[in-house]
Structure 1
Amino acid sequence: MFGLFKSKSEIEKLQLKYEKLMKEWHRLSTINRSKSDQIYAEAQEVMNKIEALKQ
């Protein structure tokens, strides 16, 4: 309840975006391989940003 209005950190926002992209990547992996590869590349960019912020 008290954390209801707590804003998320940049890392938390990026982690949520990464998880969303990975779910989309997995869903597309059997449907559209080229789109799946594009989504995976985006997810890797987000992961690189997360790693850079952690250091």
Structure 2
Amino acid sequence: MQEVTAEILIERVWSYAEKIRSGEIKASKKHRWAVDLFFKVLTAMQKMTEGLLKQ
């Protein structure tokens, strides 16, 4: 059995969230809100990291 690494878990969560976002996976309103928040947080973290690297 393959060891589950952090990278594998991230890929699984990302794929699941993308499928919910695209409508490929049916989800409740709360799940869609959670997915939207997930991507908003990731975008904010990316912008913050880019800003820190420019300094």
Return the TM-score normalized by structure 2.
0.47
After TM superposition, the score normalised by the length of structure 1 is 0.47
Looking at both structures, which has the greater relative contact order when contacts are Cα pairs under 8 Å and sequence separation is at least 6?
A: 1
